[in-house]
């Protein structure tokens, strides 16, 4: 069932997610394999590079709600315990400073060690 839900989420991406995905998928030529709406444990990660253990989340206004913010904090702690670095960007950052968001993502990916053997 997680695959079906992930497929639904991929088909219903928000405009900021679509904008960021258009840029993230180009990173493959640099050796970074990014997946979108990937299931992990009981979560769906907006974008993730499993090899570098980097999660990228794009947050809308609902994430400023106290209940949602608490949920996000718990989720981030779980992901950090699993060895992930979590990057969060607000929708308006993605839409109005895509280059800056991408710079932060690329710097993080480049700094993270590869989990592939021999790299």
CATH number of the domain within which 73 lies: 3.40.960.10
Residue 48's DSSP bridge partners are 35, 55
Does residue 8 lie within any of the structural domains? Answer: yes
Does residue 101 lie within any of the structural domains? Answer: yes
SS3 (DSSP) at 37: strand
Domain that holds residue 23: 2-109
Does residue 105 lie within any of the structural domains? Answer: yes
Q: How much is the pLDDT for 67? A: 77
Element containing residue 78 per DSSP (H, E): helix 66-81
Name the percent of the chain lying above pLDDT 90.
71
Does residue 119 lie within any of the structural domains? Answer: no
pTM of the model: 0.85
Find the mean pLDDT for residues 32-60.
95
Q: Is the pLDDT of residue 5 over 90?
A: no
> Count of domains in the chain?
1
Does residue 19 lie within any of the structural domains? Answer: yes
Element containing residue 63 per DSSP (H, E): none
Does residue 20 lie within any of the structural domains? Answer: yes
Does residue 114 lie within any of the structural domains? Answer: no
Does residue 31 lie within any of the structural domains? Answer: yes
Do strands 43-49 and 35-40 pair parallel, antiparallel, or not at all (unpaired)? antiparallel
Give the integer Cα–Cα distance in Å for 77 and 59: 17
**pLDDT category, 15, cuts 50, 70, 90?**
very high
Yes or no: say if 4 and 79 are a contact pair by the CB < 8 Å rule. no
Give the integer Cα–Cα distance in Å for 3 and 90: 26
């Amino acid at each position: 069932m997680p695959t079906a839900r992930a497929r639904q989420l991929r088909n219903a991406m928000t405009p900021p997610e679509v904008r960021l995905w258009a840029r993230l998928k180009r990173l493959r030529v640099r050796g970074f394999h990014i997946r979108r709406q990937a299931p992990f444990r009981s979560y769906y990660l907006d974008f993730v590079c499993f090899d570098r253990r980097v999660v990228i989340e794009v947050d809308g206004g609902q994430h400023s709600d106290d209940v949602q913010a608490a949920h996000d904090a718990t989720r981030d702690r779980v992901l950090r315990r699993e060895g992930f670095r979590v990057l969060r960007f607000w929708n308006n950052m993605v839409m109005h400073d895509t280059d800056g968001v991408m710079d932060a993502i690329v710097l993080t990916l480049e700094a993270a060690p590869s989990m592939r053997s021999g790299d």
